């Protein structure tokens, strides 16, 4: 299911919720009966279809949470990089990651370094996210566990992190088939053509929302606010939908 189709389904569910809220739906009719739990379940099923996971969930809010992939995850407002969630609390996007990383072009490679006097690959990554207010671990194997996985290079967005098999290096994808990294002793921080194929890669991680993710979330949130006049369960459902799409890579 495309993003547009999912957003259309969100709009339909929003309409059901608004009707329930204003009492314009006949909940006693067997043909037209609906409850908030029913809406949540239908919404979860729509998410499951969008994520190619089959039939959605159990009933109500618990089913929605499971479908959105949020059970047990850190709050979406966290400024710390977490496992299985994007960090949105700082307001930074993948475009900000790329812009900040470019400040360090030309800095010499120094093993263990994290400053403009010298930095290694993971030191560069940690420093860039620190500049943006997002806490990241120090070494590549730990950084490779943060955020949410991106399915393949074709789904990568600027600001995503690429970790090759063996987890001995990490690079920042800047878009257009290029990456930014601190290569090795004797070299400096630079942008080069990406030389990794999907077969070479252990994982691609999205730590903060991509610029596209952030724009879609803002658009849906604005539409929900305009439709209901207040922030409520409809907006929460829309946010959960976008989070599910970001986590699955479908919104890339």
- CATH number at 186 reads 3.90.1720.10
Q: For residues 132 and 158, state if they share a domain.
A: yes
Q: For residues 55 and 98, state if they share a domain.
A: no
Q: Which of 21, 74, 102, 169 is catalytic?
A: 169
Q: For residues 236 and 179, state if they share a domain.
A: no
Domain region containing 172: 94-206
169 is catalytic: yes
Q: Which of 121, 162, 163, 241 is catalytic?
A: 121
212-248 per-position pLDDT tens digit: 888 887 777 666 666 555 545 555 555 555 555 555 5
pLDDT of residue 82: 84
**Cβ–Cβ under 8 Å, residues 133 and 100:** no
Q: Average pLDDT of the chain?
A: 76
Q: Which of 136, 147, 162, 181 is catalytic?
A: 181
121 is catalytic: yes
89 is catalytic: no
What is the dihedral angle through the alpha carbons of 102, 125, 92, 217, rounded to the nearest 10 degrees? 110
Q: For residues 123 and 201, state if they share a domain.
A: yes
Q: What percent of the chain has pLDDT over 70?
A: 56
């Amino acid at each position: 299911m495309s993003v547009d189709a999912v957003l259309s389904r969100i709009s339909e569910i929003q309409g059901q919720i608004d009707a329930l809220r204003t009492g314009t739906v006949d909940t006693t009719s067997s043909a037209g009966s609906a409850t908030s739990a029913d809406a949540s379940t239908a919404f979860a099923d729509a998410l499951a279809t969008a994520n190619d996971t089959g039939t959605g969930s159990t009933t109500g809010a618990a089913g929605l949470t499971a479908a959105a992939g949020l059970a047990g995850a850190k709050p979406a407002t966290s400024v710390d990089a977490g496992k299985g969630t994007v960090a949105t609390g700082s307001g930074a996007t993948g475009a900000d990651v790329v812009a900040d990383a470019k400040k360090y072009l030309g800095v010499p490679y120094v093993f263990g370094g994290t400053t403009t006097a010298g930095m290694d690959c993971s030191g560069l990554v940690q420093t860039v996210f620190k500049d943006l207010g997002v806490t990241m671990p120090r070494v590549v194997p730990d950084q490779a566990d943060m955020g949410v996985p991106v399915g393949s290079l074709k789904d990568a967005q600027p600001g995503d992190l690429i970790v090759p098999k063996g987890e001995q290096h990490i690079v920042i994808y800047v878009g257009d088939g290029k990456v930014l990294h601190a290569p090795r002793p004797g070299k400096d921080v630079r942008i080069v053509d990406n030389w990794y194929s999907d077969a070479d890669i252990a994982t691609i991680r999205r730590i903060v929302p991509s610029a596209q993710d952030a724009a879609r979330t803002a658009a849906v949130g604005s539409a929900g606010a305009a439709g209901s006049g207040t922030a409520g369960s409809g907006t929460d459902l829309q946010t959960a939908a976008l989070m599910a799409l970001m986590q699955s890579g479908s919104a890339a």
